[in-house]
């Protein structure tokens, strides 16, 4: 079964704490950009390099430059934001971005993947581990993922997670997740997990999310 990608569709902007103002020159470096969603496959090969599919956002008028550093078994996504030297429109509403980072030349083995992520309550982004990726001889196309979602309960009583990076798409069914109480409905959460083919289908969906980490924003509305 072909597992659909969440990357490359519309998404909302992250609330990175950067003032909306015109820059004083080109590429004036600004605060740390944030990743709101990241996907990768469980195992890639040297002949079929791994790709990191990233969504995120910055307040107007900033944009981001992304990169990757590899050190001591760690693959670390890095980002720098700079001003585009344009006036802010629509009261400084943020703009999103999609990026693909291709990892080439990695020796075989397992790596810890980290990225500058926002947590569920939109604090300043910080680099945190989001999972493992491997370079091996036999590829595994299982999609692993991490990012911000909004939780909801459908009419069947099934929990669903709506990624920021796919807000126009149907919400993902949580095939397996830590226990949730009704108070979690409508709240943001930070999710780490992977896509799995349901057998039987989770909540009527062919594909569901198995969540290994689900950090729900418990702050008052």
Helix (H, G, I), strand (E, B) or coil at 28: coil
Asked if the structure places residue 187 within a domain, the reply is yes
End-to-end CA distance of the chain: 40
Report the C-alpha gap between 152 and 184 in whole angstroms: 8
Q: Indicate the SS3 state at residue 93.
A: coil
Contacts of 2 (CB under 8 A, 6+ apart): none
Decide if 41 is inside a domain. Answer: yes
91 within some domain: yes
DSSP symbol at 154: -
Q: How many domains does the chain have?
A: 1
pTM higher than the cut 0.85? no
Q: Is residue 20 part of a domain?
A: no
**Count of other CB atoms within 10 angstroms of residue 139:** 16
For 43, the domain range is 29-216
pLDDT along the chain (221 residues), means of 10: 41 30 42 87 92 82 85 92 69 55 93 88 80 94 93 89 81 85 91 82 83 87 60
Closest by CA to 42, choosing from 177, 210, 176, 169, is: 210
Tokens in use for 115? 């990225």
Q: Is 24 inside a domain boundary?
A: no
Listed in sequence order, the residues at least 6 apart from 183 whose beta carbon sits closer than 8 Å to its beta carbon are none
């Amino acid at each position: 079964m072909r597992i659909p990608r969440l990357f490359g569709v519309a998404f909302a902007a992250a609330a990175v704490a950067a003032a909306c103002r015109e820059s004083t020159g080109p590429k004036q470096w600004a605060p740390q950009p944030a990743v709101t969603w990241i996907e990768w496959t469980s195992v890639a090969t040297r002949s079929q390099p791994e790709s990191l599919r990233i969504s995120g956002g910055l307040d107007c008028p900033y944009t981001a430059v992304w990169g990757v550093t590899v050190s001591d078994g760690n693959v670390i996504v890095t980002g720098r934001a700079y001003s585009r030297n344009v006036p802010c429109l629509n009261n400084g509403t943020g703009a999103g971005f999609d990026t693909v980072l291709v990892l080439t030349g990695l020796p075989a083995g397992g790596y810890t993947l980290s990225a500058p992520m926002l947590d569920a309550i939109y604090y300043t982004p910080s680099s945190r581990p989001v999972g493992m990726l491997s370079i091996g001889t036999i590829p595994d196309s299982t999609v692993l993922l991490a990012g911000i979602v909004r939780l909801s309960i459908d009419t069947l009583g099934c929990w669903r997670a709506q990624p920021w990076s796919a807000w126009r798409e149907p919400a993902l069914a949580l095939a397996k997740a830590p226990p949730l109480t009704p108070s979690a409905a409508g709240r943001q959460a930070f999710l780490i997990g992977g896509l799995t083919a349901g057998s039987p289908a989770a909540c009527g969906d062919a594909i569901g999310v198995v969540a290994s980490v689900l950090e729900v924003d418990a702050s008052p509305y």
